Amino acid sequence: MIIVMKAGAAKKDKDEVIKRIKELGYQPHVIHGTTRDVIGAIGDERGKLALQSIESMPGVESVVPILQPYKLASKEVKKEPSVIRISDTVAIGGQEIIVMAGPCSVESEEQIIATAREVKEAGAHVLRGGAFKPRTSPYSFQGLEGEGLKLLAKAREVAGLPVVTEVITPETVDLVAEYADIIQIGARSAQNFALLKKVGQAGKPVLLKRGMSMTIQELLMSAEYILAEGNQEVILCERGIRTFETATRNTLDLSAIPVLKGKTHLPVVADPSHGTGNYHYVAPMAMAAVAAGADGLMIEVHPDPEHASSDGPQSLKPAKFAAMMTQLRRIALAADRRI
Amino acid sequence: MIIVMKAGAAKKDKDEVIKRIKELGYQPHVIHGTTRDVIGAIGDERGKLALQSIESMPGVESVVPILQPYKLASKEVKKEPSVIRISDTVAIGGQEIIVMAGPCSVESEEQIIATAREVKEAGAHVLRGGAFKPRTSPYSFQGLEGEGLKLLAKAREVAGLPVVTEVITPETVDLVAEYADIIQIGARSAQNFALLKKVGQAGKPVLLKRGMSMTIQELLMSAEYILAEGNQEVILCERGIRTFETATRNTLDLSAIPVLKGKTHLPVVADPSHGTGNYHYVAPMAMAAVAAGADGLMIEVHPDPEHASSDGPQSLKPAKFAAMMTQLRRIALAADRRI
Amino acid sequence: MIIVMKAGAAKKDKDEVIKRIKELGYQPHVIHGTTRDVIGAIGDERGKLALQSIESMPGVESVVPILQPYKLASKEVKKEPSVIRISDTVAIGGQEIIVMAGPCSVESEEQIIATAREVKEAGAHVLRGGAFKPRTSPYSFQGLEGEGLKLLAKAREVAGLPVVTEVITPETVDLVAEYADIIQIGARSAQNFALLKKVGQAGKPVLLKRGMSMTIQELLMSAEYILAEGNQEVILCERGIRTFETATRNTLDLSAIPVLKGKTHLPVVADPSHGTGNYHYVAPMAMAAVAAGADGLMIEVHPDPEHASSDGPQSLKPAKFAAMMTQLRRIALAADRRI
Amino acid sequence: MIIVMKAGAAKKDKDEVIKRIKELGYQPHVIHGTTRDVIGAIGDERGKLALQSIESMPGVESVVPILQPYKLASKEVKKEPSVIRISDTVAIGGQEIIVMAGPCSVESEEQIIATAREVKEAGAHVLRGGAFKPRTSPYSFQGLEGEGLKLLAKAREVAGLPVVTEVITPETVDLVAEYADIIQIGARSAQNFALLKKVGQAGKPVLLKRGMSMTIQELLMSAEYILAEGNQEVILCERGIRTFETATRNTLDLSAIPVLKGKTHLPVVADPSHGTGNYHYVAPMAMAAVAAGADGLMIEVHPDPEHASSDGPQSLKPAKFAAMMTQLRRIALAADRRI
């Protein structure tokens, strides 16, 4: 931490700050500037009481953190990229780009099995489908819940695809973990810390979506919650942030991909379906994500988007999805990856 | 809903849209415009499958919702303001402005009791204090949990103040409800729908904070989750939204107060401590909130902010809080309210 | 500036950074941390080539500025608040709160004179009215231009109110300065630096509006452009920033008032009409701005908002404006100010 | 426009709205809903007084625009993509992706000529370089101005590359047009309407950057200003919008590329240098932009970023730029384009 003193701060105030820095277990180091002094507090600030409280002391202008607050997610701790195995044939974080595709919600056996077959046929590696749905309105369809999990398991069987599905409460983590190959934490749960701790103990890979107003650093802190429980298999997912722009449902922040790649060893995937909210923009943004270095994609595919229970406007029909996969393969090759 | 067709959409496409509108139980009504047609779908769109999926149909440019998606929270359903009784002497939503004050976290018996006495003395009506703390970092202090609840109960006893405290998981709702006079849903939980449903059944007033990137309409939808479970005692809290400005921790959106007052019968309070993140700005923004029509305030007060476990920089010392209360009384009177 | 080195940066890299700091005329000061080194660069960084370029050097993680980049606008340079005289009877920045009211656009002699009389009668101190209008659409009404200025001068004569009006190009600054008592720089021009320099030379007080995506620091930098030309009479205006919220046209950031009061000696006014975009919210936000410490207000008033050429939805009718002024007087008194 | 009436609006209010719609030259069309009425106003709303003012009328809840407010920029007016010729060999908007590269500022003859040669050698099509610089601080380097233009002309001669450079005031448009092959309007000038009109008359292609808080629709409205003056050669540039994320200088909104492609015939380029503010992220985001369908790129290249007068941290060294060009060629081919 760097403590910036006010211009003309009293000596007494500086002495108090120095005393407090020592009390908290850091070593103070004063730099006398031309208009104000700056005090470095040397020591690892993670896991201790925050130096931030020094900001309340007289004569202090601001407190500037220097260290990143995450450890286990950091490349400083683990330099080589993490490759997370999902099944015998599927791993995320290596040279192959993993495509997870399927409907927003599991709606019926027919729907999920037909979709699973189609996306498998088109080259998807993982089947996505929601059984527990966090919906803005209490009057909207909330998912088939346990029944949806069973249908997912059936579709996995039939299509031979591992399954990713969302969990929204700590008490259903064990149930979801029983069925899912990857447990998804949705954007609205990305700072549900009790849920993060619980999936950290579930023994399954976790796909962690970035919250709508979460900074990249906060996303890594949420990953840290899972890692700190002993679960090293965390996949990060950029799915759009909330901005003033209304032409898209969210603003897909693809620069988060290279930023994350510079800071963490964890794999990073992108979700252009939620990121744009409009099926017209899914294919170009999927290609852009791959070109930017994404390790995978999440794509909403529905056999009949006009009758979908949720997220119809952003779902691709199977034929469009297959066409996109063909294009993606070419982009992946050009980026020295494969799909 | 209004369905806007593309300029030059084919007759076939329009017919399909009209057919689909009828299928979904609405009555279509076509307006032929100079460059494009617009189709109104008449009927209450709440509680039905979303017309939004029509956006996927050929020839459709966009789907524009007309009705607000909430019912129970709306002034259309209940015109007169709701007054929520907290204790024999405290009610929120009436002429009196209710001040909830106390530390971010309960840290010790001495701390919470001393603070409770001081804020009571200065005129606060409710004691705030966190026992379960949602923290961005797994390495930060996470609250005293059950022990914290007991200390809050003790402080209530000693100071004679009802207590508001946060709940962060569905499974602790009953425990928290046992101790709290008002159950708080924090900004990070404002779209934790399972938690909202559970506090909707807890039989205690709920203070619902606006999430950092939540629109006012989404806040009302989250309130609707609680109301729909039969709990009519919901207090809304503006606590700052996330914007590009970094001079304050969040941007306190005080215009949310008159906007909410125009849309809902529920009382609205403001939290200038979290809203600004800096104790220097708390008093002016508290006064502004009262002038804008807030029914109450949440204020962080700590006897020793420099040693606080959390949120030191935004906490007022008791003497500053008392001085602010004196100013607030004058503003309240000028606004035909009282504190 | 503080230069943060990467963990494990090579000695050679550190030596290069130190050399470069010296070359740029600063004095380096190294702090050896537990995981990384931090190098302070001592010296006034304003007016020199930016140290920011050091961020490109090998081994450097980030460069953190310490000093505020503005001088003349800063309280460090001038401690007492600036009081800016507009006319014999009107000054902004003192104990009296100044209300500037009038239509968005000057539309006709009848309209502007009637409005001037009504706002004067209700207690306004300055007449506002746009002659040059920056409009998003080339097809919208662009203002009466020179003719509008003449009508404003006539209204000033008749009502006895000084006049504030916007200038949008450097070449019309002299013309506008001839007619205006305060020259307004609108939100869209707030980083039109050529225009800022020109009004810095115009010898008239300047009302500088905050741009829609401008930080408070950038607003002060734009003020610095005017001050650096020798014009000390700058009034800052908070008028709403752009956020994700759509219930209001902008988000009026009232916390900017106390933040600015802590950083600068310049007076600060608020514009709740543009800040909210909806006349229902103007009075509560005007009261809130006064309670937060604003030195003045800008309010749109139109005799017939339903027929206004621009900004009808956010304009008050004269009777509503007069009622608001009565309420504002009470709030001002409660805040130890007067109107 | 669609006028949404309040639930239970009086007949008298509806009649007044209908009367006003007719007065303004539109044809009213009422839809009686289950809880409220909705009134369509039929007619082309562009070029007329805004119906928006109806929002002030009693009984009106909101006014919802249906038509896009731009004409000339719209695909409805011109279906096939515009290809804009810059020189005998360079055209933007066709199958070839155009790369504009060079330093943020022209600093010296040596610097600009060396850079021009290097970027030409690496395959760039256009030389970029700023002579007039809009800088946040009055104390920062403001560009070599006229002298910079002459150096650009010399570099064009030597390297055989057309030149793009920024203009910041209406009165220098003619001067800049004399030297530039493409006139650039920077993000801070994107709503400087007087400047837009002037470059609309300059007879040279214009590169229009999106403002930091500009919606895509507003960008098209600014383009409309130029088009409406008779200049059909407008290139749109996505260069990052302002959001809460601080890991990058701006958030590069690549989804703007497919959104714009769906709405306008104008070519679209991306500027990953300003979009990210960090040279590490330039190559991945450049590749992503091409994959998303960009017609061109603007890239900052500087022979010695550590000594750059501006924007050092986001500038590539020539060798890195050349390496990126090699990668870009592969991505372009995979996207059925070429560089």
**Mean pLDDT, each 10-residue run in order, chain D (339 residues):** 87 92 88 84 67 85 83 92 97 98 96 97 98 89 94 97 97 97 97 97 97 97 96 98 96 98 98 96 98 98 87 91 98 97
Across the interface, of A217, A245, A334, the residue whose CB is closest to D253 is: A245
CATH number, domain of A53, equals: 3.30.70.1140
Angstrom distance (rounded) from CA D309 to CA D303: 12
Across the interface, of A134, A138, A221, the residue whose CB is closest to B137 is: A221
What's phi and psi for C94, nearest 5 deg?
A: -95, -155
Of the two residues B47 and D86, the one the predictor is more confident about is D86
Nearest-Cα distance to chain A for B212, in Å, is 7
The per-residue pLDDT for C209 is 98
Residues in chain D: 339
Angstrom distance (rounded) from CA C171 to CA D195: 12
Same domain, A151 and A24: no
The per-residue pLDDT for C307 is 83
Label residue B247 by pLDDT band (50, 70, 90): very high
Label residue B48 by pLDDT band (50, 70, 90): low
Same domain, A252 and A121: yes
Cβ–Cβ gap A64/C2 under 8 Å:
yes
Residues in chain B: 339
Has residue A139 been placed in a domain? Answer: yes
The per-residue pLDDT for C49 is 56
Check whether B25 has a pLDDT greater than 90.
no
Same domain, B262 and B213: yes
Same domain, B203 and B296: yes
The per-residue pLDDT for C291 is 98
The per-residue pLDDT for C128 is 98
Same domain, D35 and D130: no
Tens digit of each residue's pLDDT (9 = 90 or more) over D159-193:
999 999 999 999 999 999 999 999 999 999 999 99
Label residue A48 by pLDDT band (50, 70, 90): low
Cβ–Cβ gap A168/B138 under 8 Å:
no
The per-residue pLDDT for A309 is 81
The per-residue pLDDT for A152 is 98
Residue spans of chain C under pLDDT 50 = none
Tens digit of each residue's pLDDT (9 = 90 or more) over A307-325:
888 878 899 999 999 999 9
Give percent above pLDDT 70 in chain B. Answer: 98
Has residue A119 been placed in a domain? Answer: yes
Domain count, chain C: 2
Q: Tell which residue, B111, B248, B98, has the closest CA to residue B181.
A: B98
Check whether A50 has a pLDDT greater than 70.
no
Tens digit of each residue's pLDDT (9 = 90 or more) over D107-120:
999 999 999 999 99
Tens digit of each residue's pLDDT (9 = 90 or more) over D11-59:
999 999 999 888 888 889 888 887 788 898 887 766 555 677 888 888 9
Chains A, C: CB contacts under 8 A, how many? 58
Across the interface, of B255, B276, B333, the residue whose CB is closest to C248 is: B255
Same domain, C170 and C267: yes
Cβ-contact A226, A196 below 8 angstroms: yes
The per-residue pLDDT for A46 is 60
Contacts of A278 in chain B (CB under 8 A): 55
**Residues from B in contact with C at Cβ < 8 Å:** 213, 215-217, 241, 243-248, 251-259, 262, 275-276, 280-281, 284-285, 287-293, 327, 330-331, 333-335
Angstrom distance (rounded) from CA D67 to CA D84: 27
Cβ-contact D161, D119 below 8 angstroms: yes
How far is Cα of residue A119 from the mean position of the Cα atoms in its chain?
A: 23
Cβ–Cβ gap A76/C44 under 8 Å:
no
Has residue A246 been placed in a domain? Answer: yes
Cβ-contact C183, C195 below 8 angstroms: no
The per-residue pLDDT for C95 is 97
**Residues from C in contact with B at Cβ < 8 Å:** 213, 215-217, 241, 243-248, 251-259, 262, 275-276, 280-281, 284-285, 287-293, 327, 330-331, 333-335
Chain D residue whose CA is closest to C212: D213
Has residue A22 been placed in a domain? Answer: yes
Same domain, C229 and C312: yes
Angstrom distance (rounded) from CA C202 to CA C174: 7
Tens digit of each residue's pLDDT (9 = 90 or more) over B249-293:
999 999 999 999 999 999 999 999 999 999 999 999 999 999 999
Has residue B75 been placed in a domain? Answer: no
The per-residue pLDDT for A33 is 80
Same domain, D106 and D216: yes
Same domain, D217 and D262: yes
Has residue D248 been placed in a domain? Answer: yes
Label residue B42 by pLDDT band (50, 70, 90): confident
Contacts of D327 in chain A (CB under 8 A): 335
pTM for this predicted structure: 0.95
Q: Tell which residue, C107, C2, C108, C119, has the closest CA to residue C52.
A: C2
Average pLDDT score over chain B: 93
Inter-axis angle of helices D256-263 and A282-291, nearest 10 = 140
Cβ-contact B310, B135 below 8 angstroms: yes
**One-letter amino acid identity for C58?**
P
Residue B1 three-state SS: coil
Which of these three, B31, B64, B97, is where a domain ends?
B64
Q: What HEC string does chain A produce?
A: CEEEECCCCCHHHHHHHHHHHHHCCCEEEEEECCCCEEEEEECCCCCCCCHHHHHHCCCEEEEECCCCCCCCCECCCCCCCCCEECCCCCEECCCECEEEEECCECCCHHHHHHHHHHHHHHCCCEEECECCCCCCCCCCCCCCCHHHHHHHHHHHHHHCCCEEEECCCHHHHHHHHHHCCEEEECHHHCCCHHHHHHHHCCCCCEEEECCCCCCHHHHHHHHHHHHCCCCCCEEEEECCECCCCCCCCCECCCCHHHHHHHHECCCEEECHHHHHCCHHHHHHHHHHHHHCCCCEEEEEECCCHHHCCCCHHHCECHHHHHHHHHHHHHHHHHCCCEC
Please give the average per-residue pLDDT across B58-66, as a whole number.
86
The per-residue pLDDT for B45 is 64
Chain B residue whose CA is closest to D45: B34
Q: Tell which residue, A278, A277, A275, A300, has the closest CA to residue A288.
A: A275
Has residue C112 been placed in a domain? Answer: yes
Label residue B50 by pLDDT band (50, 70, 90): low
Q: What's the maximum distance between 2 C-alpha atoms anywhere in chain A?
A: 76
Nearest-Cα distance to chain B for D244, in Å, is 4
Cβ–Cβ gap C221/D138 under 8 Å:
yes
Cβ–Cβ gap A288/D215 under 8 Å:
no
Same domain, B214 and B289: yes
CATH number, domain of A132, equals: 3.20.20.70
Same domain, D47 and D168: no
Q: What's the maximum distance between 2 C-alpha atoms anywhere in chain D?
A: 76
Same domain, A120 and A52: no
Chains A, B: CB contacts under 8 A, how many? 129
Please give the average per-residue pLDDT across A260-277, as a whole number.
97
Domain carrying residue C39: 2-64
